[in-house]
Amino acid sequence: MIKISDPRKLLNISYQTRALIIKMLSAAGSGHTGGSLGLADIFTCLYFNELNHNPENPVWPDRDRVILSIGHVAPVFYATLSQAGYFDKSELFTLRKLGSRLQGHPGMDWGLPGIETSSGSLGQGLSIATGMAIVAKKSLPDIRVFSIHGDGELQEGQIWEAAMAAVHYNLDNITAIVDLNGVQIDGPTSAVMQLNPLSEKWRAFGWNVINCDGHDIPGILAAFRKARLCSGKPSVILAETIMGKGVKTIENDHRWHGRAPSPAEAIEFLCQIDEIYRIELAKIKTVNDV
Amino acid sequence: MMFNNRGNRSTREGFGEGLLEAGRMNPNVFALGADITVSTGVNLFAGAFPENFISLGIAEQNCAGVAAGMALMGKIPVFTTYAVFSAIRATDQVRISICYNNLHVMIGGAHAGISVGPDGATHQALEDIAVMRCLPNMTVISPCDATQAAILTRKAILEEKGPVYLRFGREAVADFTPPELETQIGKAQMLQPGNHLTLIATGHMVWEALKAAEILSLKGINARVINMHTIKPIDADAILEAAKETRLIISIEEHQVTGGLGSAIAEVLVGNCPVRMERIGIPDCFGESGKPEELLDKYGLTADKIARKAESIFRAKQISS
């Protein structure tokens, strides 16, 4: 797939994805809005710049693998896959409906192209990525495995079992991405079960730790590049994001972790997304001018 | 009896041999270890194919997930540790990462049953069949001796498609099935014909059932003995045939009487041919330390106790009818 490097084009895709997330969640009537909006920039950079993949041949053996460990942000995953051409965007509106390939949490058996594994029970994705990367090291040295996690998810012990194993086998073909939005269902992560010092934890396990702003597109691309260039150990990108990014009125509000907008709210949110897109686009122009 | 004990061997030895053989036949077979490779029989494979052995430490949840990842890349992973850990501690990982993805992963459950002995309750898997049996896509196997463990392990790895759970024991027990005995996953084996009652056993209990049938025959009771080495999918035809022809079914297992072989048989009978049935197993309690033979005796899982119980049920049934 052709890789897009222009940050303004990537930002445009990212905000289109946000609009799709709002529309599909509103049609579904339930689902996870906050985390999905917060991950739109990272997903866009991953699928439109970093990843080696082919939406026309989703099971191409040499493709990079993406493991969505946090299955509840399925809307951003599905919206990005449809934007990349894996399936028609109209199918997004079947989300969470009976018989849909777009299950509430990704289910591989349902046959949606682009899904590498089922997920939804937190903490399992890094182990799957580790298994894939062990095999890739032996027989497919060019492919890379990306796993996507939430910060609250790091409270699961299995994550740290896998973190140990990935270092034990020198799996530098793994890039884990942590969506550091500081919010989980019950409230701020710092109050529910604090994770700090997080960079030090990963470093102590032997990982290459890369910090970035999860909404700064050039910064995200740079973080992926750093991970790609690191050899001998796996990389983790700790990406600071804002839950609900793009809809000012719900940003960082933990009540929007697992809520979908009503049709009226959706209209309002789409206006906000449009407005914030213009502001963010102007910022990128300024950066480029300097 | 039609069978002879060729000498005591453990089903874990058989499992280790079957795994080794599968490795020889298919280079895509990988064994995943969670530290206890010698006591699970995985060391044979690890020694022969070090490149295909992945040590993952005492981290069963991760093991199950790594197995899923390897299967998604086209390999055939065999994840083995004590059954209390592979089948029960890592249940959610087995459920979502392996079964929901319908991946061909073999899960080995070592040290299954009360005959684990002195280690006590924590290490005696008595619920693994129940837990594994209710997971969609899963096949559940429980071989009766070392020879059969080797055959079924090889077949499960090389011929099956989805997830397979195979449990095996620690103790050396009678190795009696002839290697040429036809053994198919999902197909029960009638090891002894009989028309008065049917003993349906699994794992180590099959040999006890055969010996119990011998005791019963001296008392004029012809007991049919069925080896139910595959608990899921269960051979409903063999059960219904036995129910119609003998009208009394007794299940025997080194497992809780709830959820295991007995429950699986009862599920078949209740809708099709409800006959008198008795379940012999662990009566909804935790195990304890002791010598294997002491524990089997205490919980009524020896040939002698099985025969006594079967006789009393049979006589009572005769009087009432």
Provide mean pLDDT across the span B254-276.
98
pLDDT, residue B178, reads 97
Structure tokens of A84? 């990349």
**Neighbouring residues of B315: CB distance < 8 A, sequence distance ≥ 6:** none
pLDDT, residue A277, reads 98
Task: Compute how many other C-beta atoms are within 10 angstroms of the C-beta atom of residue B308.
Answer: 15
In tens, the pLDDT along A95-138 reads 999 999 999 999 999 999 999 999 999 999 999 999 999 999 99
- Dist. CA A197–CA A287, nearest whole Å: 31
- CA distances (Å), B241 to each of A122, B229, B250, B311, in order? 46, 17, 14, 21
Q: Do A109 and B100 lie within an 8 Å CB cutoff? A: yes
> Chain B closest CA to A279's CA: distance in Å?
42
DSSP state of B135: S
Query: Are A65 and A134 contacting, i.e. CB atoms less than 8 angstroms apart?
Result: no
In tens, the pLDDT along B22-54 reads 999 999 999 999 999 999 999 999 999 999 999
- Dist. CA A80–CA A21, nearest whole Å: 9
pLDDT surpasses 60 at B246? yes
Of A125, A131, A136, Cβ closest to residue B67 = A131
pLDDT, residue A196, reads 96
Provide mean pLDDT across the span A213-225.
98
pLDDT, residue A286, reads 59
Residue whose entry in the numeric block shows the structure tokens 């080696």:
A52
Q: Do A135 and B66 lie within an 8 Å CB cutoff? A: no
- CA distances (Å), A248 to each of A179, A243, A285, in order? 19, 10, 22
pLDDT, residue B320, reads 87
- Dist. CA B284–CA B82, nearest whole Å: 21
> What structural domains and CATH numbers belong to chain A?
7-283 (3.40.50.970)
Beta pairing partners, B53: B31
- Dist. CA B264–CA B258, nearest whole Å: 9
Confidence of residue A158 (pLDDT cuts 50, 70, 90): very high
pLDDT, residue A289, reads 47
Of B70, B95, B100, Cβ closest to residue A134 = B70
In tens, the pLDDT along A48-67 reads 999 999 999 999 999 999 99
Closest CA to B59 of B38, B79, B31, B29: B79
- CA distances (Å), A34 to each of A38, A140, A244, A277, in order? 6, 36, 4, 17
- Dist. CA B19–CA B40, nearest whole Å: 11
CB environment A164-183: b (16+ within 10 A), e (fewer)? bbbbebebbbbbbbbbbbbb
Beta pairing partners, A40: none
What are the boundaries of each domain within chain B? 7-175, 189-320
Provide mean pLDDT across the span B150-176.
98
More confidently predicted of A288 and A156: A156
Closest CA to B170 of B20, B295, B6: B295
Average pLDDT, chain A: 96
Average pLDDT, chain B: 97
pLDDT, residue A287, reads 58
Residue type for position B40: T
Provide mean pLDDT across the span B284-291.
98
Three-state SS annotation for B98-109: HHHCCCCCEEEE
| Domains B7-175 and B189-320 in one fold | yes
Angle, nearest 10°, between helix axes B60-72 and A157-168?
A: 60
pLDDT surpasses 90 at B321? no
Indicate the fold that domain B189-320 takes in CATH.
Answer: Rossmann fold (3.40.50)
In tens, the pLDDT along A64-79 reads 999 999 999 999 999 9
Residue whose entry in the numeric block shows the structure tokens 């686009």:
A281
pLDDT, residue A290, reads 42
- Dist. CA B75–CA B122, nearest whole Å: 32
ω into residue A106 within 30 of 0, thus cis?
no
CB pairs under 8 A between A and B: 104
Provide mean pLDDT across the span B169-185.
98
Residue type for position B78: V
In tens, the pLDDT along A170-190 reads 999 999 999 999 999 999 999
Report the sign of the C-alpha dihedral through residues A86, A87, A92, A96, in that order.
negative
Q: Do A128 and B56 lie within an 8 Å CB cutoff? A: no
pLDDT, residue A1, reads 82
Interface test with B, best of A128, A145, A171 (most B CBs within 10 A): A128
Provide mean pLDDT across the span A253-280.
96
DSSP state of B318: H
Closest CA to A153 of A197, A121, A196, A200: A121
Taking 3-state DSSP, the helix, strand and coil percentages for chain B, each rounded to the nearest 5, stand at: 45, 20, 35
Of A120, A129, A161, Cβ closest to residue B96 = A120
Residues of B in CB contact (< 8 Å) with A are 51, 54, 56-57, 59, 61-75, 77, 92-93, 95-97, 100-102
Architecture of the domain spanning B7-175: 3-Layer(aba) Sandwich (3.40)
Name the CA radius of gyration of chain A, rounded.
18
> Chain B closest CA to A247's CA: distance in Å?
33
Provide mean pLDDT across the span B96-115.
98
pLDDT surpasses 60 at B231? yes
Of A120, A128, A165, Cβ closest to residue B72 = A128
SS3 A282: helix
